[in-house]
Structure 1
Amino acid sequence: MSSSTEGSVRVPSYRTLLLICCTVCFFCYFGSYMRIPVVPLFAQSLGADTIQVGLINSSFLLMAGLLSLPLGILSDRVGRRILILSGLLISCCSSFLFYYSRTPVQMMLIYLFFGVGLAAFAPTLMSFVADFTPSTHLGRSYGWYTTALYGGMSLGPAAGGFAGQWLGFPPVFLLSGTFILLMVFVAHLFVPRAHQVPAKRPRKRAIRIMAGELLRNRPLLSCWMITLGGCFGLGMFVTFVPLHAQEQGLNLGQIGIVFAAQALFNALSRIPFGYLSDRVSDRSVLVVIGMLCFAVSMAGIGFSTHIFQFLIWAVILGISMGVAFTALGALISEVVSPDSRGLAMGGYNTCIYLGMMLSAVIMGIIIRETGYARAFLLTGTLNLIPLAVFYIATRRFIIWKSSVNKPED
C-alpha cells in the first residue's frame, strides 16, 4: 500500500486508512460484545432480578442513543481522532470497572458509562471512513467497515461465553478490557490527525445553521426513519426470537445456530453488496429491496415452527440487512455536506440504539396480548411505512444527482 506526502507530512493511503478503521472497529466491538452473554448472568449472581437485568442491559443503549447525535456534532467541531480515542478509552475502562463491581446498581452505572464511550466512538469512526473515502468507493468502504463491525459483534459473544464457562465471569471483563486497550494504542499510533487525512475540509459553519439545514434535509430524515424502523425489527429479533424459538421446541444450541446464521450472512453480504452499491446509479433501490425482504422475513420468523424455517428466514433477514444498511450508510454520506457528517452519523447511530431499545420495551407488551406470530407480522408491516416515506423522499435527491452528473453535450 502506497502513501503520498504533502510537504513533510506523510499522508496514509485510502486502503491503509480503511484497514486501520476496520481493525479498530472489529476489536473494539469484539471486546465490548464479549460481555453481552456474561453481564446478565453476572448480575444475577450479584442478586439482580429479571427487571434489574433488563434495566442493566438497556442502560447502555439508552445512553448511546441520547448522546450519539451531540457527540457526532462535537466530532465535526473538534475532530474525529480525539472522539475516537476518548470513546475507546471509556469503553476500556468500563470493562475493567465491571471486574470490580459488586452490586447491580454499580453494573447499571458502569453500562451507562459504556454508553457514553459507544456514542463517542461509533458515529465518529463511521464519519471518519466517509472523510477519506472517494465518493466512488463509499459503498465498498462501508461494506468492509460494517463487515468488521458485525464480525466483532458476532464473534465477541461467542468468545465471551466460552471464556466465561472456562474462566468464570470476572476474568471475561479483564479480557474484554485488554482487547479494547490494545485498540487505544493502535488508534493513538495509526489514526492520523486531521491535517494528515487526504480529505476536503470545508470551512466550519455554525452548529445552528447545520442543524437547521439537516432538519430540512428530507432524504437524510428518511434515512434516519428507515434506520429506526429496521433496528426496531432487529431489536425484535435479538430480544424475542430466543423466547419464540424455545416455545416452538428449539433448544439452546439450535437457537444459537439461528443467531449465527443471521449474523454470518449479515456480515458476509455487506462486502459484495457494498461494491454493487458503488456500481448502481441509485443506491436507494438497494435500500428499498433490502427493506422489503427484511419486512417479509420478520413476518416469516413469526410464523416459523421448525428450526429449518427459522434458519431460512434468519438467513434472508441477514442478507436483507446487509443489502439495505450498507447502501444506507453510503447514502447518508452523500446527502449531507462533509462538515455535517458527524451530525448525520450521530443521528444514524441514535436511531440504531433507540430502535432496538424501543422494540425491547414495547413489543413485550404486544406479544403478551397477541402472541409472537402477530407481533412479528406487525413489526414487518410497520417497516413498510418508513420505507414508503424513504422512497418518496429520496426520489428528488436522485433526480438532482443525475442532473448534476449528466455530461454536457
Structure 2
Amino acid sequence: MFRRGLAGVTTMTLLSYGGEYMAFTSVLTWLYNLTTARGVDPLQAYGFGFLVSAVYLLVSGVLAVPFGSLSDRFGRRPLAVVGCVSAGLSILDLPATALLTEANFVILAVSLVLIFVGIGHGTFTASALAYAGDISSSSNVGQAYGLVETAEYAMFMFGTPLGFIVAQLYGNIWTFVITGGILLTAALAAVVGMPERRRNADSTASSSQSAEVGKTDASLAVGGNSGPQGQIKLLFKAVQDSGVLIALIAIFFVSMGFTAFRIYMTQYGTSGQAVPVVGPYLISIMAIASTLAAVPIGKLVDLSKKRMPVLIVGFVIEAIALVAILVNPTALTLIAWSVAFGVAIMLVRIPQAVIVAERTQVENRAGAMGANHAVEHIGYGAGAFLGGLFVVSFGLSSLTSFAVFGAMSLVAGLVFLPLWKKLGLN
C-alpha cells in the first residue's frame, strides 16, 4: 500500500505541478499579446500580468484551507482528481479568450481561468500532502514527504523554463493543449495510484496500537460522516496544536527567505555585477541542490526521529548562506552557498511537513496542510514585499538586505531551539 500510494501521489504531484507551471509563462504571454492587440499600452499590459498573477497566487494559497477540509471530509483521491481536472480544463479553455474583442473582457476571462487553476492547485496540493501522511508510518514519513517535495519543488523551479521551451517549439495554443492534457493525466494518476479506504465505524484502533502517522486513529481512512461544523472544529483543533503552529511559522520564514533569494539572485545573475559564467545559473544550481537533497533528508528525518533539530539546523545554514553568498563573491563561493541554501530549504521544509502530518488526524490533516500551503504563499508574498521595501524605500544594498533576511532566519531557528525541548517536539 505504501509503495503504490507513494508512487501514485508522487506521479500526480509531478504531473499536476508540471502542467500548471509549464502553462504559466504562456498564460502571461497570451494575456500580453491579446491586450496589446486590443489597444492596451504595453506597459499597462505588463502590469495587468502582475495583477492577474497576484490573484492566482492568492487564490491558490488561501483556498487551499477550505478545499483541504473538503478533502478531509470526502477523501484525498476525489479532491485531487477534482483539482487536477479543474486546472486542466481551465487551461484548455484559454484559447477561447482570443474570441473576445474587448481588452477588459480578456483580462476578466484570463483572471477567471487562473482563479480556477488556483483552486485546482490548492486542492491537489493539500490532498497530496495529506495523503503522503496518511499512507506513512513513523518509520518512513520523512521519505514520503521527501519524495513528494522533490516532485513539487522540481516542477515549481523547472516547469516554467520547460513551458517556455514548449511554447517556443509549438506556440502558446499548443502549449495550453499539452499542459492541460498533462493535468488531466495527473487526475488519472490519482485515480489509479492513490487508493484509500473509508473508516470503519466500528474501528477502535488508536495511535498506541498503530504505527501509522497521527495523534489518534491514523488508518488510511477518510471521515466521510463529519459535517461541515465538525470539520471546522477539527481544523481549528489542528492549527491550535503547538507543534503545528511552530511548523506554520517555520514555513512562513523559510518561504520568505526563499523568495528573497530567488528574486535577488535572479536580478544579480542578469546584472553587470554578476560573476561571469555562473551568475545566470545560480537559481538553477540552488534548485538542483534542493531537489537532490530532498529524499536523503527525508530518510535522515526517519532514521534520526528528530524533526525539530533538523529544522533548526536548516534555518542556521540558510541564515549563514544568505549572509555569506554576496561577501566577496567568486564563482566557487557563489556555487557553494547556492548549494548550501538549496539544501537548507529542504532541511526546513521536510521536517516541518512531517510535524504537521504527525500532529494531526486523518480527519483534519488535509485542512492543516491547506493552512500550511496558505501560510507558505503568505511567506512568498512577504518576502517579495520586504525585499522591495528594503531596496526601494530603505535604500539597502543586496548584501545588507540578504543580511537582514539571514538574521530573521537565524532568529527563527534560535527561537525554535528552546521550544523544541519545552514542548517535546521531536
Tell me which residue corresponds to 2:147.
144
Q: Where in structure 2 are there 5+ consecutive unaligned residues?
A: 37-43, 99-105, 201-211, 213-217
Tell me which residue corresponds to 1:217.
241
Tell me which residue corresponds to 1:310.
334
Tell me which residue corresponds to 1:49.
45
Alpha-carbon displacement from aligned partner over 1:344-369 (angstroms, at most 9, x marks no partner): 21111111112112222332122213
Quick one: distance in 2 between partners of 1:341 and 1:287? 20
Tell me which residue corresponds to 1:373.
399
Distance change in 2, residues 1:54/1:304 (3 Å): farther
Distance change in 2, residues 1:276/1:239 (3 Å): same
Quick one: distance in 2 between partners of 1:135 and 1:264? 28
Tell me which residue corresponds to 2:102.
none
Q: Where in structure 1 are there 5+ consecutive unaligned residues?
A: 1-12, 402-409
Tell me which residue corresponds to 1:87.
83
> Is contact 1:66-1:350 (8 Å) kept?
yes
Alpha-carbon displacement from aligned partner over 1:361-391 (angstroms, at most 9, x marks no partner): 3321222132322222212212233333433
Tell me how far 1:251 sits from its aligned partner.
9.3
Which has the larger displacement, 240-249 or 52-61?
Answer: 240-249
Tell me how far 1:132 sits from its aligned partner.
1.3
2:115 to 112, 119, 126: 112
Tell me how far 1:105 sits from its aligned partner.
3.8
Which has the larger displacement, 383-392 or 342-351?
Answer: 383-392
> Is contact 2:258-2:345 (8 Å) kept?
no
Distance change in 2, residues 1:302/1:57 (3 Å): farther
Indicate whether 1:35 and 2:16 are aligned. Answer: no
Q: Secondary structure at the match of 2:110?
A: helix
> Is contact 1:261-1:311 (8 Å) kept?
yes
Quick one: distance in 1 between partners of 2:249 and 2:238? 14
The amino acid across from 1:222 in the alignment is I
Q: 5 Å matches for 1:384-395?
A: 384-395=410-421
The amino acid across from 1:232 in the alignment is M
Alpha-carbon displacement from aligned partner over 1:221-278 (angstroms, at most 9, x marks no partner): 1110110111111122233322233234449985552122111110110111111111
Tell me how far 1:147 sits from its aligned partner.
1.3
Q: 5 Å matches for 1:10-409?
A: 13-46=1-34, 47=36, 48-102=44-98, 103-195=106-198, 200=219, 201=221, 206-250=230-274, 254-303=278-327, 305-368=329-392, 369-398=395-424
Q: Secondary structure at the match of 2:122?
A: helix
- The count of residues paired between Structure 1 and Structure 2 equals 388
Distance change in 2, residues 1:107/1:374 (3 Å): farther
Normalising to structure 1: TM-score of the pair? Answer: 0.86
The amino acid across from 1:258 in the alignment is L
Distance change in 2, residues 1:340/1:152 (3 Å): same
Quick one: distance in 2 between partners of 1:241 and 1:104? 31
Quick one: distance in 2 between partners of 1:74 and 1:170? 33
Which has the larger displacement, 333-342 or 345-354?
Answer: 333-342
> Is contact 1:69-1:343 (8 Å) kept?
yes
Q: Secondary structure at the match of 2:195?
A: coil
Distance change in 2, residues 1:88/1:212 (3 Å): closer
Q: Secondary structure at the match of 2:139?
A: helix
Q: Secondary structure at the match of 1:350?
A: helix
Quick one: distance in 1 between partners of 2:108 and 2:32? 12
Quick one: distance in 2 between partners of 1:285 and 1:234? 20
Q: Secondary structure at the match of 1:34?
A: helix
The amino acid across from 1:398 in the alignment is G
When the two chains are superposed, the root-mean-square deviation of aligned CA atoms in Å is 2.6
Tell me which residue corresponds to 2:208.
none
Normalising to structure 2: TM-score of the pair? Answer: 0.83
Tell me which residue corresponds to 1:10.
none
